[in-house]
Structure 1
Amino acid sequence: MKGKIINESTGEGIAGATITLSPTVGTSSDSLGNFSIPTTLPFPIQLKVNALGFRESFSILRNSQHINVYLEETDNLIETIEISRKRKYSNRNNPAVELIDQVIKHKAQNRLSGIDKIQFDQYNKIKFGFVNPRPIFKNNMGQIKFFFQNIDSTSFPGKELLTVYQEENLAKAYSQKNPANQKKIVYRQEKTEFDKRYVNNPNIESYINYLFQEVDVYDESIFIINKLLLSPIADNAKIYYKYYIIDTLVQDNKSYIKLAFEPRNPEDLLFRGTINISMDEHFAVKEARLKMDQQANLNWVNQLDINLNYQPHENGRLVLVKSQAKIIFGVGKSDAVFGERIAVNSKYDLQSEIPNTVFQGAPLEYKLEPDNQRYTDFKRPIALSSTELKTYQNVDSLNNTKAFKRLLSVGYLIGQGYHNLGAFELGPLEYAYSFNELEGNRIRLGGRTTDALSDKVYFEGYAAYGTKDETLKYFLRSAVSLNGSSVSTFPAHYLEGLIQSDVFEPGKGIGFKKGDSFFESFRSNKPFKFLETEAFRLRHVIEFGNHVSFTTGFTHQRRAAAGDLQLLSSAAPHSPIDPIVTSDAHVTFRWAPNEKFYYRNLTRSTIVEKYPVFTVQYNKGIPNFLDANYGFDALRAMVSKRLFMNQLGFADITLSGGKIWGTLPYPLLEMPNVKDEFDRHEVDFDLMRSMEFAADQFAKFSFIHQAQGYFFNKIPLFKRLKLREIWGTQLFYGQLSDRNNPYLSDEVVEFDKDENGTPYTQIIGKKPYWEASAGIDNILNVLRVEYVRRLNYTDLPNVNKDRIRVSLNLNF
């Protein structure tokens, strides 16, 4: 006898349903809801079906033909949990807690990561879109109203869904324990793609896949929508959860106990729901249903459901065969946006050897089959609905609609600051106008090429003019691919050259965006000392699939004092020195294991996850080459990492240091608080003045901890406001050798002075510079307020000892 158990609301198969014909004859449905059960019982036969979260069903079979059984969803199980809360809860002599102890004890042998070698097939489907779009969009959007009429009313009962982004992948997944390696090769893919002139489709794919990562109840915490929610079977889960036994089940002649759990403190980032646990020597999870608690300290999340189903492999181990995560975002009781991810795993192989060549290259690779065509109905374990199939066609039609193109153009200008002209785009808008003490009003016209010109050759540049100094500035950079692929596609391999003539704050590196946007014009520590800089640079960049990259290059710069800056010889205090000319070669090694990023052309932003980033750079100054008047050696190293601390939130740690050999004017030494355009892991200081310290050997440290409301959630009244704690500290320690100390050496440059004769630049003492901050995040869901305090060197002139920093911070 064969059949299928189907969700009446969605039409999808129900995994793990229990089907019984008699007390001794029964089975359970597979990951797609299918079942098969042999029987010699005479007809008619009564078929009983149970599934977690659904009403019990009875059917009378007249013959052995295929049968479909439709089950109605119910929330009664959650109500049972609520009733059990009425009695006093205790971990002592509690059989539910004893059972969880066994589950935790046996996690290592049950989770797949404990197996030496694994390979399996995986199907992924991700959807993202709007909930209950207003009727006005269906009837009053002119040429694009057809897009708003493709409504799905079955996936989320009682809600209408309009899918905007949809992605499907068929992949082969591999992992091994020793040495630890993971690999996924995607060989079929379909996804919606908007006009790439205005929409960075790879970034959308990266961001949505980042928010909706694969989940497993055996992980200590489940990462979803940029948050860590503690698993109900985490090692320390008993501290945060309460447990109740609510039912026993028999599936495939095996017994399971259904266990309910709920948070001890509903405001913490925890789940409530049920798990089914095998009653044998393994104590493995058969099924898990996780729901976000409505009181949890999360923003804009009205509903979060995760369903996980595990089925026995031929070796008896329970393996994850289906996971589904559904999220509805909104404000208050109003739903706005939804997201859904379904992953189906099949054809597990836990014994075969995996060739070492499989793990070469990036952990995620796309090797699409030649016949990978749009709308091809490849072998999906879950058939697409009619609205899902139409989503692909509608997005393609939308891209060809003039009204939609105009809408994207305006959105791109507002969001990215560029106006697309086809092969070239003007921008960024925020740099078109700014002002400073040297240039007065600065007008800048710039832009960059797009893929419409070429994805293997890239140009960007600008011309700028200051109304006060009446000087023209310019910048031009170009990159040419050396591997036949896009200059921005990872792993990249390209040759880059740039030329620039502009004014900079001392210590700031050359680049397209040099920190002088319109908004930077209003900062409190405005610069008034500048270096007129003329520079050119050649670089060779090569990246490898293991996220190791090497950059080699040569840079020539000529710097002259501008504004209030004076470069006077330490040997003759009233004698200006010649312009500072340097020619240096450099090599940079960078390793960022498992790094993911958003990118646009040559600009990349790392998606910060748990993996560290290591960088080592060596510079060699070549004297007398192209009139260079200084020789030096410089070595710098940096490591940064995000620590995920389960219920305590996360912390970002950065440590960097370096040493410079040679006799140099202080603008060529290390001056903290100056950011590099390409270094997004640098330590920044809030209360340190520009040019305040100089050193030729140094160390910097930063620690920023966001506790995500862990402490405030325990305080009455506070926890209702969903406030979150944030604190941090930054340190700088540096030393200046005698040869570079203008008070001891007559071969360098005097520290510049103010009108009172006080030097702007200082030599740091025996104690490191130290500042700290503490604040409250998530005020009204959007504001962060921090108090920043300078903890030492407060007696130096013209320094701020503290400040209040208010900023917008949007986060879930």
Structure 2
Amino acid sequence: MKIRLFYLLIFITTSVSAQITLKGKVVDEFNNPLPFVNVFLQNTTYGTTTSDDGKFFLKTKKYRGTLEISFIGYKTQVLKVNQKTKYLNVVLKELSNELEEVIVVTKPKKRLKKKENPAYRILKEVWKRKRKLGLNLVDNYQFKKHTSIEIGLNNLDTVFIKRIFKKDYEKAISEIKYDNDGINYYIPVYLREQVANVYGNNKENNIRTDIEAEKEEGLGAQGFVFDRMSNTFQNIDVFKNNITLLQKSFVSPLSSDGFATYDYVLYDSIVKNKKKLYNIYFFPRRNGDLAFQGNVWVADKNYSVKKIKMKVHKSINLNFVRGLSFEKEYEVKNDSIYLSTKNAYDGDFTFLDKNESNKGLTIKKTILFKNYILNKPKPSIFYTQKNIKIRPDQYTKKQKYWKGVTDEENKSTYKLINSVKQKKEIKNITGLINTVASGYINTNLGIQFGPFWTAFASNQVEGFRTKIGFRTFKTKDDRFRLGGHIAYGFKDKKVKYGAEARYLLSYKPRIAVGLAYQDDIEQLGSVLLNTTQLLGRSFGTTAILNRGDNFFLSRVKKVAANFDYQIKMNLHVGFNLSHARIGTASQKDFSMNYLDEKGNLRSQITDVASDIYVSYTPGRFVYGLGVERRFGRNIFPTLVLNYRKGYKGPFNGTHSYDKIQFKYTQPILLGKFGLLDATIEGGKTFGTVPIGLLNPVPANQSLSLVKNTFSLLNYYDFVTDTYAATHLEHHFNGFILNKIPLLKKLKLRSLVTFRAAYGTISNNNIAINKSNINYNTPNKMYYEYSVGVENIGYGNLRFLRIDAIWRSNYTPPAGSVVSPTPKFAIRIGIKPGL
């Protein structure tokens, strides 16, 4: 572990601290100063424009580089600069034959109203036509799509390269690529290519994608984290008013409400190939707004977008993100149809901050479109048939195929990856990245240990608790996975354990089965609905810091089996069978006693039950083809329905009952106003059952925030057999705090929450209760509300949030052994990025 931490420190340390400070003036051939000339250091984010008198000032953290001075209609000047460069006099020569018309519109010091801005007339026409251009103009289409995703280590200096290659340094340095800054080096560690044919029918709004071939190479193929990172860039539709990126809603520069977020500058227009193009630059009105910076070329007459380049503004803080940029290009077909030819996405990720000298990860995604065929329809049924990838090797092609598909740059990348993937230092770094992201530590035995964040906990029954978990892992696409844990409490001096095996029976249809056994302690009052998790995983036994005393834990010995069938992507039905013996984990402090139907006092429940569930998550991004799958961090709704049947008699089951539950979650993007995450859930238990089979309203006595729980309730404060709850959480994403002077420099974001619960319990269930919990229900609706601040942290690490929480009036019933609940509390939440 010390070695891994050492390499992590190397990975995030700063390699250079020197800087260049440049001053100068740009004039034309007649010594006239040129305003608004672009002056920037190539392959960096350092840049500026000249003032009205042609002067510029540029300060960077680089110690050398290539300065580019460019202006539409003039020949670009490229100059080598370093620390000794102080003042530059630059003369730009006009390119008269390439420029037929130039209109320069300067950005006013005072913001122009929409109708006064020359860009408004052009953008208004784009808004009118943006849904009627491109492939939407034809009834049917098809094209070929080639996608490349590359991940590599960036900003590497010669010291690092020598440490990796040692004696092979001289040969390696001639093959390794330069980084974007042209100064330091970049080593690719993973490359994936996919070729697909896309068919569309606009009349019936159907799209079919047939994968033709796939190929991947590198260390990233062994872990889910690289899949998640490579899928950071989903399709960015610039024509939508709002663009979802990393679970945040950015206002598109082509939004019909863009003038509320952006300043637009009509920089110039140019006539090229007898077509007039307008070049419009856009900038966020306020630093920190979730918006982009860049420029867009718009064609005259039909006002379609020819090209757009944009990047996330450097003032915006996204966890681990140093920079994100996007570029889209289009071609003209039949003089009116503009078709995509290239999408390029580039991401730069670092651990601590955005300092450009820190080492980091580069993710590049390039999509090339070609071979368009328009208005040659296929039978309607053809477009509705879907070819879905079901096996990892389903679209593997021989090397002969790729010789004519892979370009020279990717060929050299594959060669370099093969030479570095066996290097111990590279494997240590990528392994450490996987460990930090997944929580599991790799071994050479095909077994991973973790997750490390559940290794230690504390509660009143076990005292200090330590836990070691494990899982088998060869690749992310394993059909069989065995996992489990062993735990020990230093107060009760008891060993607990659990194991779960899962196997993918069939790729198509996708059928998975699971079998589990556990003998462990659970907090039954911390979760309402659980479908596919066979082992108890409640947070009530994994927290280190808790509020008040909590002896209300249960000892659960359970055998469970699961059968899961995928009807179609993101629509599953499943069946569970379980046999659980449930009793108190602390005879002295917590009683689960009840009266059976003969009036006898019982202390243990034997629950024999079956579950039938339906899970629907439309739009969820799923990756991984093994029995264990992962889900992208996109925004999608979730609907879960579950019917549970308890059996008395078979296998010594003590209770017969029926339970129906549902849960619906709907994230709602509200554009610049942020994201509302709404959840409603409810359920009812039919039959007479003891406390271990009822529905306590989910409480949270830990000092951290847990989704869909009530932070100011104690476990078992409310016990119901019929319940309904709602959780509303709105993230403003800087809409409020970014408008407050001084405060906006902290880059904080505000949020508000409202949570409510209502429930009842039958007299029969109250009558059989002989535990030391007095049943109480929120029959007048219990609620909590809070205001909070998120995006707290340092540099790139801003994953903390703090909520101030209040609750409605509530007094525990007389004689209750439950600790008093606070009326107000401060809680901390942790939400990593990516």
Scaled to the shorter chain, the TM-score interval is: 0.7 to 0.9
1:580 aligns with 2:605: yes
Picking from 708, 715, 718, the partner of 1:693 is 718
Output the CA distance in 1 between the equivalents of 2:524 and 2:538: 13
Structure 1 residues 584-733: aligned runs within 5 Å: 584-597=609-622, 604=629, 606-673=631-698, 683-733=708-758
Counterpart residue identity of residue 125, structure 1? S
Residue 626 to residue 97, structure 1, CA distance change in 2 (3 Å):
same
Residue 327 to residue 432, structure 1, CA distance change in 2 (3 Å):
closer
Q: TM-score, normalised by structure 2?
A: 0.77
Mean Cα deviation higher: 340-349 or 408-417: 408-417
Output the CA distance in 2 between the equivalents of 1:419 and 1:159: 30
1:496 aligns with 2:518: no
2:299 matched to which residue of 1?
278
The structural deviation recorded for 1:137 is: 0.5
Residue 100 to residue 346, structure 1, CA distance change in 2 (3 Å):
same
Residue 54 to residue 333, structure 1, CA distance change in 2 (3 Å):
farther
Structure 1 residues 112-151: aligned runs within 5 Å: 112=135, 116-141=139-164, 150-151=175-176
Q: Could you say what secondary structure the match of 1:698 adopts?
A: strand
1:346 aligns with 2:360: no
Kindly report the root-mean-square deviation, in angstroms, between the aligned alpha carbons of the 2 structures: 4.0
Output the CA distance in 2 between the equivalents of 1:701 and 1:166: 44
Q: What is the identity percentage for the equivalent residue pairs of Structure 1 and Structure 2? A: 19
Structure 1 residues 448-459: aligned runs within 5 Å: 448-451=471-474, 455-459=478-482
Q: Could you say what secondary structure the match of 2:397 adopts?
A: coil
Q: TM-score, normalised by structure 1?
A: 0.78
Residue 572 to residue 308, structure 1, CA distance change in 2 (3 Å):
closer
Superposed CA deviations along residues 432-488 of structure 1, whole A, max 9, x for unmatched, are 5544322345454543333389933332233444454344433232223321x5xxx
Q: Could you say what secondary structure the match of 2:227 adopts?
A: helix
Output the CA distance in 1 between the equivalents of 2:74 and 2:188: 29
The structural deviation recorded for 1:634 is: 1.0
2:822 matched to which residue of 1?
800
Counterpart residue identity of residue 130, structure 2? K
Output the CA distance in 2 between the equivalents of 1:80 and 1:603: 58
Output the CA distance in 2 between the equivalents of 1:458 and 1:302: 36
Picking from 497, 500, 505, the partner of 1:474 is 497
Residue 368 to residue 389, structure 1, CA distance change in 2 (3 Å):
same
Q: Could you say what secondary structure the match of 2:719 adopts?
A: coil
2:242 matched to which residue of 1?
221
1:752 matched to which residue of 2?
772
What is the total number of aligned residue pairs between the two structures? 719
The structural deviation recorded for 1:619 is: 0.7
Residue 681 to residue 284, structure 1, CA distance change in 2 (3 Å):
farther
Counterpart residue identity of residue 308, structure 2? A
Picking from 405, 408, 427, the partner of 1:384 is 408
Residue 92 to residue 403, structure 1, CA distance change in 2 (3 Å):
closer
The structural deviation recorded for 1:259 is: 2.6
Superposed CA deviations along residues 751-792 of structure 1, whole A, max 9, x for unmatched, are 524xxxxx3x42212223333342243343526342332321
The structural deviation recorded for 1:671 is: 1.4
Q: Could you say what secondary structure the match of 2:696 adopts?
A: coil
Superposed CA deviations along residues 651-682 of structure 1, whole A, max 9, x for unmatched, are 2222211111111113211113269xxxx996
Check conservation: 1:583, 1:625, Cα contact below 8 A: yes
Output the CA distance in 2 between the equivalents of 1:407 and 1:95: 51
Q: Which 5+ residue runs of structure 1 have no aligned equivalent?
A: 1-8, 12-50, 59-70, 754-758
Check conservation: 1:440, 1:466, Cα contact below 8 A: yes
Q: Could you say what secondary structure the match of 1:108 adopts?
A: coil
Counterpart residue identity of residue 204, structure 1? F
Counterpart residue identity of residue 790, structure 1? W
Q: Could you say what secondary structure the match of 2:115 adopts?
A: coil
1:532 aligns with 2:552: no
1:311 aligns with 2:331: yes
2:777 matched to which residue of 1?
763
Q: Could you say what secondary structure the match of 1:420 adopts?
A: coil
Output the CA distance in 2 between the equivalents of 1:453 and 1:492: 16
Check conservation: 1:188, 1:369, Cα contact below 8 A: yes
1:101 aligns with 2:119: no
Check conservation: 1:122, 1:170, Cα contact below 8 A: yes
Residue 628 to residue 720, structure 1, CA distance change in 2 (3 Å):
same
Output the CA distance in 2 between the equivalents of 1:106 and 1:697: 52
2:800 matched to which residue of 1?
784
Output the CA distance in 2 between the equivalents of 1:306 and 1:768: 47
Q: Could you say what secondary structure the match of 1:690 adopts?
A: coil
Picking from 309, 314, 319, the partner of 1:289 is 309
Q: Could you say what secondary structure the match of 1:389 adopts?
A: helix
Output the CA distance in 1 between the equivalents of 2:173 and 2:105: 40
1:36 matched to which residue of 2?
none
Counterpart residue identity of residue 122, structure 1? K
Output the CA distance in 1 between the equivalents of 2:323 and 2:490: 55
Structure 1 residues 27-66: aligned runs within 5 Å: 56=75
Check conservation: 2:580, 2:607, Cα contact below 8 A: yes
Check conservation: 1:297, 1:709, Cα contact below 8 A: no
Output the CA distance in 2 between the equivalents of 1:453 and 1:592: 22
Check conservation: 1:193, 1:396, Cα contact below 8 A: yes
Structure 1 residues 54-453: aligned runs within 5 Å: 56=75, 83-86=106-109, 89-110=112-133, 112=135, 116-141=139-164, 150-153=175-178, 160-177=185-202, 179-194=204-219, 199-200=222-223, 202-209=224-231, 211-280=232-301, 282-296=302-316, 298=318, 303-314=323-334, 316-329=336-349, 331-335=353-357, 336-337=359-360, 338-354=362-378, 355-361=380-386, 369=395, 371-373=397-399, 376-380=402-406, 383-385=407-409, 388-401=410-423, 416-442=439-465, 444-451=467-474
Counterpart residue identity of residue 809, structure 2? Y
Check conservation: 2:788, 2:803, Cα contact below 8 A: yes
Superposed CA deviations along residues 526-565 of structure 1, whole A, max 9, x for unmatched, are 5312222222112111124432111112111121223121
1:739 aligns with 2:764: yes
Residue 670 to residue 513, structure 1, CA distance change in 2 (3 Å):
closer
The structural deviation recorded for 1:189 is: 2.6
Mean Cα deviation higher: 559-568 or 138-147: 138-147
Output the CA distance in 1 between the equivalents of 2:235 and 2:729: 27
Counterpart residue identity of residue 420, structure 1? T
Check conservation: 1:150, 1:391, Cα contact below 8 A: no
Check conservation: 1:361, 1:546, Cα contact below 8 A: no
Counterpart residue identity of residue 660, structure 1? T
Counterpart residue identity of residue 418, structure 2? D
Residue 180 to residue 364, structure 1, CA distance change in 2 (3 Å):
farther
Superposed CA deviations along residues 315-368 of structure 1, whole A, max 9, x for unmatched, are 721112122233444534424433332222112234233553554457777885
1:14 matched to which residue of 2?
none
1:774 aligns with 2:788: yes
Output the CA distance in 1 between the equivalents of 2:741 and 2:182: 35
Residue 157 to residue 578, structure 1, CA distance change in 2 (3 Å):
closer
Check conservation: 1:734, 1:768, Cα contact below 8 A: no
Output the CA distance in 2 between the equivalents of 1:346 and 1:453: 32
2:483 matched to which residue of 1?
460
The structural deviation recorded for 1:370 is: 5.1
Residue 374 to residue 418, structure 1, CA distance change in 2 (3 Å):
farther
Output the CA distance in 2 between the equivalents of 1:193 and 1:521: 38
The structural deviation recorded for 1:588 is: 0.7
Q: Which 5+ residue runs of structure 2 have no aligned equivalent?
A: 1-40, 44-69, 78-93, 813-818
Counterpart residue identity of residue 633, structure 1? D
